[in-house]
Structure 1
Amino acid sequence: MELGNKERSLVSKVMDGLISGIVEERYGAILPPQDVLSKEFDVSRTVMREALSMLLARHMLDVRPKIGTRIRPMRDWRMIDEDVVSWRFRAKPDKTFLRDVIEFRALIEPAACALAAERASAADLAGIRDAYEALSQTSPGDAGCQAADTLLHTRILAASGNQFYQQMAAIIRGALSLVNPIVSERDGGWANIVAGHGRVVDAIERRAPQEAQAAAAAMIEFTADELHHALTQEAIEQPR
């Protein structure tokens, strides 16, 4: 049965609520039965069934006979899905996830920057420069700071001309939302972030792919080092 607009809206709200419960670990390893969840969210079983099927399709849940609906480990979630990316980054990050985020960026972004230096159109370059100027005029506490940073990275990925890199923009945006608040709190962190982006943008504008790739790699390496120091300091300061 095809759902109407009202039911589709309810499905989205239920999905959002279920995700919040999952990432906040309110449900444990197994979701409550569908009728219990339907009462909890005050929706019909049809709406609940559709919401659960959407999460099943994204490899977030697994139905087991005589066990019920199991919540799958986050490493199994279908991260190519933009919604899943957003949901995954809601959860409190662990060291393994932070490591994987850095490794992913190191694999994708330097290569994309090199391609952008080769392929970017005049309009692409103007958009990248505008995004960088907006970023350079913000501070970590500003409302538009994260938006400016994600816009810059998204435009560089688009300028690469590679459709697969372009599809990775959601993961990069999620990664930035996760690591930037940690890095920018460290002494000189934000200034180094802005300067690193500036070197990348300059190299792209000069059509210097090797320099753009090296600048992007150095920027990500700096982020990795700062995350390591921040997490090490946090572990030292935690009460024993």
Structure 2
Amino acid sequence: MDENKERSLVAKVMDGLVSGIVEQKYGAILPPQDILSKEFDVSRTVMREALSMLLARHMLDVRPKTGTRIRPMSDWRLIDEDVVSWRFRAKPDQTFLRDVIEFRMLIEPRAAALAAARAMPDEVAGIRDAFDALARLTVGEPEYQAADEALHTRIVAASGNQFFRQMTAIVRGALVTVNPIVDGIEAVREATLAAQRKVVEAIEAKDASGAERATRALIDLAAEEVGRAFSLERSGENPPVVGEAAGI
């Protein structure tokens, strides 16, 4: 088999296995390799390579006499961009959303401060362009999520910190997970846009402390709405109608 074709096939099998895992198709233990090979209609060599890639990402664990065990998602190597993408496919629970918010609070405020201090003019212009595009869009438009991701990831990239830049995949995944909860209420969306504007303006003014404060306020806003959404879910109440935003 052509090497490029085999790599593509391995990637396809990995993607299919991950979909089955996050959808809880397999339970705690994967079927034997020969059964999986038949399921995906690939050779055992391709299946073995796909499984080894997931093992390397701490997603699987092979034990004698018990087969290939699926490890808890908390063990997955989230620094790996593929793993990040796969992890965010699963339905988020309260603990995962808490961890997402805490990650953002750890990375984004400092990245914004560094961007205010270090960003090159073209990077600042790119951040402004992303914000202006976002401000023109409404929730639900096809370009909305992409514009929001561009704004946040460009700020992180403009920090100039190579480790922060490696975190953009997680930031992107965090936004995909949190935004449907936060952006569904018009008043919250307006408050979020106002907070984002403050971040951008502070970066443009080279106000590092202001950019950091504004970013913390922005993430606090998301954290409040996420916590409120789960409180409503536990109590069995209906979510607020568009235009209502409790406590904001």
- Could you tell me how far apart the structure 2 residues matched to 1:118 and 1:7 are? 46
Q: How far has the Cα of 1:3 moved from its partner?
A: 6.4
Does 2:4 match 1:25?
Answer: no
Q: TM-score, normalised by structure 1?
A: 0.97
Structure 2 equivalent of residue 146 of structure 1? 145
6-15 or 26-35: bigger deviation: 6-15
Counterpart of 1:96?
A: 95
SS in 1 for 2:77: coil
> After superposition, where does 1:219-234 map in structure 2 within 5 Å?
219-234=218-233
User: What whole-Å deviation, never above 9, does each CA across 1:154-210 have from its counterpart, x for those lacking one?
Assistant: 111111111111111000000000000111113412112211111100000001000
The secondary structure found in structure 1 opposite 2:68 is strand
List aligned pairs for 1:24-173, cutoff 5 A: 24-173=23-172
Question: Could you tell me whether the CA contact under 8 Å between 1:112 and 1:157 is conserved in 2?
Answer: yes
* C-alpha RMSD over aligned residues: 1.3
CA distance in 1 between counterparts of 2:51 and 2:2 reads 14
SS of aligned partner of 1:107: helix
- 1:113 and 1:156 in contact (8 A); partners too: yes
Counterpart secondary structure, 2:69: strand
Residue ranges of structure 2 left out of the alignment (5+ in a row): 239-248
Residue 139 of structure 1: how far off its partner (Å)? 1.2
Aligned to 1:206: 205
Deviation by residue 1:117-174 (Cα, 9 ceiling, x = unmatched): 0001111111110011011111110101111011111111111111111111000000
CA distance in 1, matches of 2:151, 2:44: 43
Q: Which amino acid in structure 2 is aligned with residue 137 of structure 1?
A: R
CA positional deviation for 1:214: 0.2
SS at match of 1:189: helix
Give 1:237 deviation, angstroms.
2.3
Structure 1's consecutive aligned runs of 4 or more residues displaced over 4 angstroms after TM superposition are: none
What is the CA distance between 1:231 and its match in structure 2? 1.2
SS class of match (1:112): helix
Matched residues in 2 for 1:214 and 1:191: separation? 18
The CA deviation at 1:238 is 6.7
Q: Distance in 1 between matches of 2:78 and 2:94?
A: 18
Map of 2:195 onto structure 1: 196
Asked if 2 retains the 8 angstrom alpha-carbon contact of 1:34 and 1:48, the reply is yes
- Measured after TM superposition, the shift of residue 234 of structure 1 is 1.9
Q: Hey, what's the Cα distance between the residues in 1 that align with 2:157 and 2:218? A: 19
Distance 1:82 1:51 in 2: 16
Tell me if structure 2 keeps the 8 A contact 1:116–1:204. yes
> How many correspondences in the alignment?
238
